[in-house]
Amino acid sequence: MNSVNFIQRLRDAIGDDSVFTTPDDIAPWLTDWRGLYRGHAQAVVRPRTTEAVSRVLALCQDARVPVVPRGGNTGLCGGATPDGASNNLVLSLDRMNAIRGIDTIANTLVAEAGCILGDLQRAAAEVNRLLPLSLAAEDSCQLGGNLATNAGGVNVVRYGMARELVLGLEAVLPGGEIWHGLRTLRKDNTGYDLKQLLIGSEGTLGVITAAALRLYAPTPVRQVVIAAVASPRQALALYELLFAECGPRMQAFEFFTGECVDLVAANVEGVRSPFAGRHPAYVLVELADTADEAGLNALLERVIEQAIERDLCADAVVSSSLAQIEAMWKLREEISEAQRADGLHLKHDVSLPIEAIPDFMVSAEARIRRVCPDVRPFIFGHFGDGNLHYNLSRPAGAPNDFMAQHGEPLTAEVLDEVAQYGGSISAEHGIGQLKRDYFAKYKAPLELRLMREIKQVFDPAGIMNPGKLL
């Protein structure tokens, strides 16, 4: 079938106003958030219903047209950007943004894939419930993208990754079949858990059109502390103490180095360290509870006293207002922005067994400095989940494209070291196009083979997001 016929069949199937083909209309859909990738597409479709998605996929399979599902385009691995093939079809879920229901007895929320994550959090809050998935891109990313990438974020230490919040899914398979798996049961031990195959599949198995999510009790009582630590080993000891004393009230345990704080101070207006002096590293801990503010404050005070007595931190600043909580979080959340303002850099989103982080940081630094003695590491991340953003910036004075020219050997050193410690080369951002070759290198051959076989079962014609992941 030629392209003109294919486009006409799409228009007939889902309506003229859902199919876009002019270069101006489709240009914004051809690049990723960071501008690292640019691809081609013959059209962009923006269906409004699951049935319309089904008709699109049936036509695509029939005509062997590659389909690139697209959420909020905040993914950091180029997964939602089409490759160089001229016949790609970008399928955006942005018009499928209805909340189909919230149940405050079962504590579930059923929503379509195109809903913006922040809108879902606000909808849950309106009925006095918490949707705990939270990340810096939450006002742009979409539920479908969050599930297709199995997003993490800042609350994983308490509530788990995106996949742990999902009770059921609705999805369209490449031939157009609709899987009505939108169950809200807590217990369902009836064979393989198919929704978990689609979660984290980065658009390579089918299109997620809706999901049923778990909700939790809100935790309006919040306290944040930033503690200055001498080393990652001290941060680890502090984590152990806080986990033992605060248990599930620990909502976040973040880590960042002194270099990250210097970078934020230099590049982001109005954000500063809360300490008078400079320290090698910091942890930011958030405790949260459903009630009992006095109890939470007393607990935090007691634990920080213990930490200082046992020499687990040098100093600590505790929030005393919501405004302070926000200001303290800003110091952590602006690191990515500060690094972006500083120029092109290499991102490594890795995870490690948490107790290996201190040794990893020493040995990884030795490796990268052998390759490039003056490289500037900016290391931060969700320490409580064993997740580090091990980011590297060019040496001071080097040209902005230094990492584009010299980055590969540095990445090889970092990822080899991660593998030595039994870690993962992608903690929460996924694989996309960016890490596909590394994925093939570091994943066990048996796991790769099983994944290819699963892909073959779901998508025998190979139309779903080709060139991504596998």
Ligand X SMILES: Cc1cc2nc3c(=O)[nH]c(=O)nc-3n(C[C@H](O)[C@H](O)[C@H](O)COP(=O)(O)OP(=O)(O)OC[C@H]3O[C@@H](n4cnc5c(N)ncnc54)[C@H](O)[C@@H]3O)c2cc1C
Contact positions vs ligand X (CB under 6 A): 33, 68-76, 79-80, 93, 113, 135-137, 141-142, 144-146, 148-149, 151-153, 202-203, 207-208, 336, 428-429, 432, 465, 468
- Provide the minimum distance between the beta carbon of 29 and ligand X in the complex, in angstroms, as a whole number: 10
Residue that the structure tokens 């876009």 belong to:
20
- Provide the minimum distance between the beta carbon of 347 and ligand X in the complex, in angstroms, as a whole number: 10
- Provide the minimum distance between the beta carbon of 224 and ligand X in the complex, in angstroms, as a whole number: 17
Which 8-state DSSP code applies to residue 386?
T
Rank residues 80 and 173 by Cβ distance to ligand X and give the closer one. Answer: 80
Question: In the bound complex, which residue of the shown chain has the CB atom lying closest to ligand X?
Answer: 145
Q: Around 301, how many Cα atoms within 13 Å sit in the side-chain half-sphere?
A: 7
- Provide the minimum distance between the beta carbon of 188 and ligand X in the complex, in angstroms, as a whole number: 22
Q: What is the rounded CA–CA span in Å between residue 9 and residue 18?
A: 12
What one-letter code names the amino acid at 333?
E
- Provide the minimum distance between the beta carbon of 311 and ligand X in the complex, in angstroms, as a whole number: 31
- Provide the minimum distance between the beta carbon of 189 and ligand X in the complex, in angstroms, as a whole number: 26
What one-letter code names the amino acid at 309?
E
Rank residues 88 and 146 by Cβ distance to ligand X and give the closer one. Answer: 146
Q: What is the rounded CA–CA span in Å between residue 109 and residue 44?
A: 29
- Provide the minimum distance between the beta carbon of 143 and ligand X in the complex, in angstroms, as a whole number: 8
- Provide the minimum distance between the beta carbon of 11 and ligand X in the complex, in angstroms, as a whole number: 22
- Provide the minimum distance between the beta carbon of 409 and ligand X in the complex, in angstroms, as a whole number: 26
In the three-class reduction of DSSP (H, G, I as helix; E, B as strand; rest coil), residue 121 is classed as helix
Q: What is the rounded CA–CA span in Å between residue 399 and residue 402?
A: 5
Q: Could you tell me if 387 and 459 are in contact, meaning their C-beta atoms sit under 8 angstroms apart?
A: no
Rank residues 67 and 375 by Cβ distance to ligand X and give the closer one. Answer: 67
H-type helices in 402-442, by residue range? 402-420, 436-442
Rank residues 70 and 195 by Cβ distance to ligand X and give the closer one. Answer: 70
Rank residues 152 and 168 by Cβ distance to ligand X and give the closer one. Answer: 152
Q: What is the rounded CA–CA span in Å between residue 247 and residue 413?
A: 36
First to last CA, the chain: 27
Residue 286 sits at φ, ψ, to 5 deg, of -115, 130
Q: Kindly give, in sequence order, each residue whose CB lies less than 8 Å from that of residue 84, ignoring residues fewer than 6 positions away.
A: 39, 40
Rank residues 163 and 406 by Cβ distance to ligand X and give the closer one. Answer: 163
What one-letter code names the amino acid at 206?
G
Q: Kindly give, in sequence order, each residue whose CB lies less than 8 Å from that of residue 429, ignoring residues fewer than 6 positions away.
A: 75, 76, 77, 149, 349
Rank residues 149 and 223 by Cβ distance to ligand X and give the closer one. Answer: 149
Rank residues 158 and 429 by Cβ distance to ligand X and give the closer one. Answer: 429
Residue 153 region by backbone torsions, left for phi larger than 0, else alpha for psi between -120 and 50, else beta: left
Rank residues 113 and 173 by Cβ distance to ligand X and give the closer one. Answer: 113
Q: What is the rounded CA–CA span in Å between residue 369 and residue 422?
A: 22
